Amino acid sequence: MRFLANGSARPWQLPAAVLAVWLLIGLVTAAFAESATPTLEAFFGTFKGQTILESDGAMTTRDLDVAIAPTRTGFNIRWTTTTLGRDGALKRESSSIDFEPTRRAGIFASQMRSDMFGNRVPLDPLRGDPFVWARQIDATLTVYALLITDDGGYEMQVYHRTLAEDGLTLRFFRFREGDALRTVTASLKRTKS
């Protein structure tokens, strides 16, 4: 920047200098914000925890196991819920879903069946199957499952898995026609596998 004889800058140079400083601040801020968002790999691992639910006036404990692992083109989430049945027998329910990135950043399509060409695709909700997708926003990986009920209504299950210091925080919601049917929260500890 050239100064005039009296030591002041030329007037047309000040806006450019101020603009350059603000541009530099913006770039540094954007780089910091992007580096603060965890990558998908931060979710990979095996996690275990428990939650207590009230159902029909009785308290039940559920053991929760979640494994999130890379696949060739995306990732897989496998989760198991274990409860003690009224007859005293252990009851296990497991799900495993592969996801692949879509053209939209942070949104992943489920790969739950093969089409007639052998491509992995989501299930068909009009046939009574759940339509499942996932998204990552910041430190939360969410799985959505949309079901069309027999009467043409809908049910939505939402699994928020948020990174915590020692594992994941799970928040599960189940809605039918917008009404909350169930809410579950749990802390899952990262295990060594």
How high is the pLDDT of residue 8?
Answer: 55
Q: What is the dihedral of CA 117, 121, 127, 128, to 10 degrees?
A: 150
Establish how many alpha carbons lie within 13 A of residue 65's alpha carbon, considering only the half-sphere containing its beta carbon: 13
**Does the pTM exceed 0.85?**
no
Phi then psi for residue 22, to 5 deg, are: -65, -35
* 147 in Cβ contact with 130 (< 8 Å): yes
Q: How far is residue 55 from each of residues 60, 94, 119, 173, measured CA to CA in Å?
A: 7, 20, 41, 15
How high is the pLDDT of residue 31?
Answer: 47
Query: What kind of fold does domain 40-191 have according to CATH?
Result: Lipocalin (2.40.128)
How high is the pLDDT of residue 32?
Answer: 46
H helices of 8-88, in order, are 13-36
How high is the pLDDT of residue 26?
Answer: 57
User: What gap in Å lies between CA 161 and CA 49, rounded to an integer?
Assistant: 13
How high is the pLDDT of residue 193?
Answer: 64
Give the residue extent of every domain in the chain: 1-36, 40-191
Along the 193 residues of the chain, how does pLDDT read in single tens digits? 555 555 555 555 556 555 555 555 555 455 444 446 789 999 999 999 999 887 667 778 899 999 999 999 999 999 999 988 778 889 999 999 999 999 999 999 998 777 778 777 777 878 888 999 999 999 999 999 999 999 999 999 999 999 999 999 999 999 999 999 999 999 999 998 6
User: What gap in Å lies between CA 95 and CA 65, rounded to an integer?
Assistant: 11
